[in-house]
Amino acid sequence: MKRIDIVYGGELYSVGGREFEEVRQEVVDGTTDGPSWLRVNDGEGMRREAYLLLAPGVPIALIPVPEDDVEVAGDGQWSSHGDH
């Protein structure tokens, strides 16, 4: 897995170096066992830690990004190399 993208409060964050199921379970535990914090990366490039509050009713989306992520090229054609 390349990374896990996270959408929280309308903003994009990410987590690297962890398995999707591990992060998913941490979110589930954080929302059922009472408030907790999830450490994530804020921004692109240089790592900047951020902490997201996990609590019941707080919307969060986890998006696994595989190593061989397929992108849509500018002409609408699928590309596995990021060619545009």
pLDDT tens by residue, 8-29: 999 999 999 999 999 999 999 9
Average pLDDT, the chain: 83
- Hey, CA dihedral for 63, 67, 73, 78, is it positive or negative? negative
Is the full-model pTM beyond 0.85?
A: no
Grade residue 70 by pLDDT with cuts at 50, 70 and 90: low
Grade residue 61 by pLDDT with cuts at 50, 70 and 90: very high
Grade residue 78 by pLDDT with cuts at 50, 70 and 90: very low
